[in-house]
């Protein structure tokens, strides 16, 4: 049956997806919904994913460099060369990087390939198969399609629909088997108790077929993401679906969050400039710049610990060729020692030959005074004044 695949979060599904991204899959025919992970599907050309799709003589067009499997052969090899005659075809195949074998075969005309990139070989490659893969069952000498992964109560099995409409259930090898749910739940709960002793008591763990579901309450966004990363890194965890919620006071507004973010960004330890902040419904987006090798290492964690933050996107651009650095430092010193600018914090930077004033002041007079001081010393009008009134 046909399946529509929908990302649970806002990610592109055109190739290169990270393996732990959860996907909500819905069958268009029966409306069944289930959670899977992006490493179980192919979103781009198979030759961009890996190289173990094997072409089969007579069913695929063969070129040098392809993996090729001849029926009844013990294993596949790599095509070194192909020569065609009027009615014969000669294929030279390399096995194990050493021995080569010349195969002289009747010429086959292929009008339409069912799988131009090749097939997975069964049962040898059952652990590597992705849903939707075209397969060749070497023992049964039949082609088919991988249509599912199931558990019969004891073992995980691959479900293959063969050409003769037979459904074949192939037990996955031991290394590809999921841990029993109870055992994996015990491992995950133990790890969370060890790493997050103060927070794990409010988080419940559910497990199904190697997928871990986290539910409960956590203090802030940083802990929420750290828990998910901790679980995802454990062996035998196929992925982690994070349903935890943040303990956020209803009295915290977007303006409160924004003020806390500016307070952090404008602290002396943060060497950031040209920053833009957007907060909507607790979801935070920040763009900023810094000089090369001056990016704060714990920036995301500190931002995520701000009360009320529900989601965070933080983009920092490192500039390798800064301009007028010494002049900017002199201006900051002049502004900080000016008696008329007491109670302010002003940062000066220069990017693309444009000076930028950032920070906070207490009055419009101070904002204009800072601008006048900069204009007088730099003798340029390429200045943007972003000083905030607090």
In angstroms, the Cα distances linking 346 to 174, 182, 256, 322, 361 are 62, 57, 21, 19, 8
Mean pLDDT value of segment 192-215 = 93
- Give the Cα separation of 132 and 38 in Å (integer): 13
Reading the block at residue 178, the tokens are 């999921």
- pLDDT for 313 equals 92
The residues, ordered by sequence, that sit 6+ positions from 81 with a Cβ below 8 Å of its Cβ are: 64, 91, 92
**C-alpha span between 42 and 15 (Å, rounded):** 8
* Mean pLDDT of the region 277-304: 91
Angle at which helices 364-378 and 325-336 pack, to 10 degrees?
A: 140
Distance CA 266, CA 86 (A): 77
| Exposed e or buried b per residue across 303-314, where buried means at least 16 C-beta atoms within 10 angstroms of its C-beta | bbbbbbbbbbee
Average pLDDT value for the chain: 87
Q: Read off the pLDDT of residues 329-376 as tens digits, 9 standing for 90 and up.
A: 999 999 999 999 999 999 999 887 889 999 999 999 999 999 999 998
Q: What is the pTM of this model?
A: 0.72
Q: What is the pLDDT of residue 47?
A: 59
Q: What is the pLDDT of residue 15?
A: 57
Instruction: Evaluate if residue 150 carries a pLDDT over 60.
Output: yes
Q: Is 23 exposed, middle or buried (0-12, 13-18, 19+ CB in 10 A)?
A: buried
Distance CA 286, CA 241 (A): 25
d(CA 385, CA 371): 7
Q: 16 pLDDT band (50/70/90 cuts)?
A: low
- Per-residue pLDDT, averaged over 243-254, amounts to 87
If pLDDT is split at 50, 70 and 90, which confidence band does 1 have?
very low
H/E stretch holding 193 reads helix 181-195
| Model pLDDT, residue 43 | 64
Average pLDDT over residues 89-113: 87
Query: Helix 181-195 crosses helix 221-232 at what angle (to 10 degrees)?
Result: 140
If one compares 68 and 16, the residue with the highest pLDDT of the two is 68
pLDDT at 239 over 90: no
């Amino acid at each position: 049956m046909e399946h529509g695949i929908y990302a649970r979060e806002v990610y592109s599904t055109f190739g290169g997806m990270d393996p732990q991204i959860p996907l909500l899959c819905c069958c268009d025919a029966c409306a069944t919904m289930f959670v899977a992970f992006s490493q179980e599907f192919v979103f781009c050309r198979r030759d961009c994913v890996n190289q173990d799709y094997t072409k089969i003589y007579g069913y695929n067009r063969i070129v040098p460099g392809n993996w090729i499997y001849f029926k009844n052969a013990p294993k596949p090899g790599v095509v070194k060369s192909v020569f065609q005659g009027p009615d014969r075809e000669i294929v030279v195949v390399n096995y194990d990087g050493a021995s080569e074998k010349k195969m002289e075969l009747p010429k086959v005309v292929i009008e339409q390939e069912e799988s131009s990139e090749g097939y997975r070989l069964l049962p040898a490659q059952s652990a590597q198969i992705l849903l939707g893969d075209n397969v060749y069952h070497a023992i049964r000498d039949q082609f088919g399609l991988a249509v599912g992964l199931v558990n019969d109560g004891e073992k995980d099995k691959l479900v293959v629909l063969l050409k003769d409409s037979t459904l074949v259930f192939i037990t996955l090898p031991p290394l590809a088997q999921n841990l029993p749910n109870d055992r994996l739940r015990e491992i995950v709960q133990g790890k969370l108790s060890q790493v997050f002793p103060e927070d794990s008591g409010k988080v419940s763990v559910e497990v199904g077929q190697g997928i871990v579901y986290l539910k409960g309450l956590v203090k802030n966004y940083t802990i929420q993401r750290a828990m998910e990363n901790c679980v995802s890194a454990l062996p035998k965890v196929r992925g982690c679906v994070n349903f935890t919620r943040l303990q956020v006071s209803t009295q915290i507004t977007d303006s409160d969050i924004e003020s806390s973010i500016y307070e952090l960004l404008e602290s002396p330890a943060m060497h950031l400039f040209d920053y833009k902040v957007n907060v909507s419904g607790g979801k935070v987006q920040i763009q900023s710049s810094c000089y090369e090798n001056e990016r704060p290492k714990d920036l995301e964690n500190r931002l995520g610990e701000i009360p009320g933050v529900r989601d965070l996107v933080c983009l920092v651009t490192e500039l390798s060729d800064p301009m007028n650095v010494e002049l900017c430092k002199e201006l900051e010193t002049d502004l900080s020692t000016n008696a008329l600018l007491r109670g302010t914090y002003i940062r000066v930077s220069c990017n693309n030959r444009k000076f930028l004033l950032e920070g906070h002041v207490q009055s419009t007079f101070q904002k204009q005074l800072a601008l006048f001081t900069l204009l007088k010393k730099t003798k340029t009008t390429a200045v943007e004044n972003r000083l905030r009134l607090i």
